[in-house]
Chains A and B, each alone.
Chain A
Amino acid sequence: MGAYVVRRLLWLPVVLFLVSFGTFALARFGPGDPVSVTAGQVRDPKVLDQIRKDRGLDSNVVVQYVRWLEKAVQGDFGESYLQKGFSVSELIFPRMWISAQLGLIALVIIFAVGIPTGLLAARFAGSWIDPAIIGTLLFLQAIPVLVIIPPLIWLFGVQLDWLPVGGWDGVFDIWWVAGVIAIPIPDPHLYIPLVAFTLPGFVSVARLVRVSALEVNLEDFVRTARAKGLSEAAVQFRHVLPNSLLPLITVVGFALAGVIEGALFVETLLGINGIGRFTFEAVVSRDYDVILATTVIFAAAFVLMNLLAEIAYGFVDPRVRIGSSRG
């Protein structure tokens, strides 16, 4: 097991190296080179040369990359080309914290809703309820986030005036009862983004739970549980559910991918100052060092999550480790 984990972990730096070098080369290759982005309106060749020297952009790509890498491994991702005087890290990390909170809550909701719905569908397999549940979830997945957000803002933010139309104000609000007792409640800014994040995610979780619950339902120990007179609820929750959850570990990666990519649109459309919106703006304004840093961090989070899922799966299901001996 130890060797397996180590082998999987060794893979991480390789991927990160390839990604960062690819991104780096793309960024240096792109239009509106970093020098002119930094210079803004200035077109004096002397100034441009000075910027090029200061930023170390006068050497070749490989040398520049090595220089960047040396600093990046120490957590220094350079200085923003656009917001001068700010280091990329200092711009990125507060925003990442916002996105991470949102994404984590979204993930929890996806699983909290997806698992029971999947069990429900499996319970009613053979009747119209099962395909109706899965069909509805598939439909929710088919609606692009881009399409669903404006009507949500319009309905709840403008027409009904129940929720703020966008922005971010922390996860919790304090609700004072009689001015003495403080009860933390979710901040109203959370609802619309969470709906947008979670709707497309339910179906993959629910389906996986459904399929594996259907298989588990046929096992001998479930029949035994029923035969000894346990209630259906006890059978489902004590015996079927725990044994259906195993494959779910593999979807954590997918669900996270959905949340990370969804952040680009949800945050942009809702004016949430997270990493997704920041990346969007950096791409639009070609702030290359920011793009580089966010891409590498996104990729790192992604690869790491998938690795953790795989390792966790290897722990709980020894059969996977045998399969892994190929690579």
Chain B
Amino acid sequence: MTASAAAEGAPRPVVAGTSEWRIVLGRLRRKRLAMISLVIISVIYGAGILAPLLAPYPPTQTNLDRPVEGPSRDHLLGTDRLGRDELSRAMYASRTTLIVTTAVVLSGGLFIGNTLGLLAGYRGGWVDTLIMRVGDVFSSLPSLVMLILINATLGPRVIGWTRWVEGHTPFDGLVASGFPSYMLVFSALSLFFWVGTARVIRAQVLQLRERDYIMAAESLGASPRRVILQHLMPNVSFLIILSLSATLGGIAGSEIVLTWFGVGVQPPAASFGAMLFEGSGTRTFQASPHLLLVPGVIVTLLLFAFALLGDALNDAIRGR
């Protein structure tokens, strides 16, 4: 009994009384660009979280007397074609981005990618082959074209199913809340955003499983589940964070592009993709550039911040 308890507390390298996490965070804190990107991400996501409190107008409130106006005291970032306040739309669009990125990172990256990566690496054999081959198929596809196709064909079906659920259960207002389109966008994206994480985790696990402490745990009779959760997971956690941070920009960008195509998050829900679409005509841009620039600048800043943060995190974890 005591022996197995000792095996569970697998010794981890302890440097001068500080944990690995604290060292990495310390390195990260010294990088100015990383801190700036964190601030940008927090501001944009914060505006999304607090949108119902902060937004000066409801995001769907139209005012047909004042369409396509430039910035003014009433509307700090102007209004769109239906007289909706751009600032409020942008805040709710950040909320959409926040919801989609979080959901996809949690389900596609953390849940599917991580689980399959651990499983493939630890189990090996046909499980490994199967998982990695499926991953190969997904990564060898033009993901954007496939995502557009999936969303375009399944979108109306999912709305139909949700209507059926509404009719047969006490849940109401699901379709009106835009729930089906969020669900579809997020499931479709999860389908394509697990492969990278799974590959990275698997490669690391392949190395780790030869280590003595894993063999020790196994010979003491630890179940595969226990080995994976107690001994392997903690040692790949950095990699998980790293590969998840690398996918953030891609996920946010894909949602925007899908919505621009008209197959992503459906109106009247606000999304940067829809806002960009409205502002993307040459004549529109000439007459009222704010329709493109407001979402364009925010999206660019957000994607840039994701890229810089991913880089800095990579450096910090690799000891620079």
| Residues of chain A whose beta carbon lies under 8 Å from any beta carbon of chain B | 11, 15, 18-19, 23, 26-27, 29-31, 135, 138-139, 141-144, 146-147, 149-151, 153-154, 157-158, 165, 257, 260-261, 264-265, 269, 279-280, 283-284, 286, 291, 294-295, 298-299, 302-303, 306, 327
Q: For B148, what are the chain A residues with a Cβ–Cβ distance below 8 Å?
A: 264, 283
When chains A and B are docked, how far (Å) is the Cα of A151 from the Cα of B285? 7
Interface 1/0 per residue, B231-261 and A, CB below 8 Å? 0000000000000000001000100110011
Do B280 and A146 have beta carbons less than 8 Å apart? yes
**Inter-subunit contact B256/A306 (CB<8 Å):** no
Contacts of B286 in A (CB 8 A): 154, 158
Q: Residue B276 at the A interface, CB < 8 A? A: yes
Query: Across the interface, which residues of B come within 8 angstroms of A279, CB to CB?
Result: 145
Could you write out 12 A-B pairs with CB less than 8 Å apart? A138-B311, A142-B249, A142-B300, A151-B292, A257-B142, A260-B142, A261-B145, A283-B148, A298-B142, A299-B141, A303-B141, A327-B132
- With both beta carbons as reference points, the residue of chain A lying nearest to B253 in the complex is identified as A144
With both chains docked as a complex, state the minimum distance between the C-beta of A160 and any C-beta of chain B, in angstroms: 13
Q: What residues of chain B lie closer than 8 Å to A141, measured between beta carbons?
A: 307
Closest to B151 in A: A283
- Across the interface, which residues of A come within 8 angstroms of B289, CB to CB? 151
| B268 contacts the other chain (CB 8 A) | no
- Output the least CB separation between A25 and chain B (Å): 9
Most buried by A among B140, B156, B262: B140
The interface residues of chain A, by DSSP majority, are classed as helix
Select the residue from B129, B144, B153 with max chain A CB neighbours within 10 A.
B153
- A261 touches which of B142, B153, B296 (Cβ 8 Å): B142
With a cutoff of 8 Å between Cβ atoms, the chain A residues found around residue B282 in the complex are 150, 153-154, 157-158, 165
CB distance from A278 to the nearest CB of B (A): 12
CB within 8 Å of A: which residues of B? 33, 129, 132-133, 136-137, 140-146, 148-150, 152-157, 249, 253, 256-257, 260-263, 276-277, 279-282, 284-286, 289, 292, 295-296, 299-301, 303-304, 306-308, 311
Q: Which residues of A contact B137 (CB under 8 A)?
A: 15, 18-19
Q: Lowest 9 A-B CB distances belong to which pairs?
A: A30-B153, A147-B296, A142-B304, A31-B156, A142-B303, A150-B285, A261-B144, A26-B153, A303-B140
Chain A residues positioned under 8 Å from B145 (CB to CB): 260-261, 264, 279, 294-295, 298-299
| Measured CA separation A153–B280 after assembly (Å) | 10
Specify the chain B residue showing the minimal Cβ separation from A303: B140
Given A26-B150, A29-B157, is A280 in contact with B276 using a C-beta cutoff of 8 Å?
Answer: no
Report whether A144 and B300 are in contact in the complex, using a CB–CB cutoff of 8 Å: yes
The residue of chain A having its C-beta at the shortest distance from the C-beta of B263 within the complex is A283
Interchain CB contact under 8 A, A283 and B142: no
A31/B153 in contact, CB under 8 A: yes
Contact yes or no, A291 B149, CB < 8 A: yes
Closest chain-A Cβ to B124's Cβ sits at a distance in Å of 10
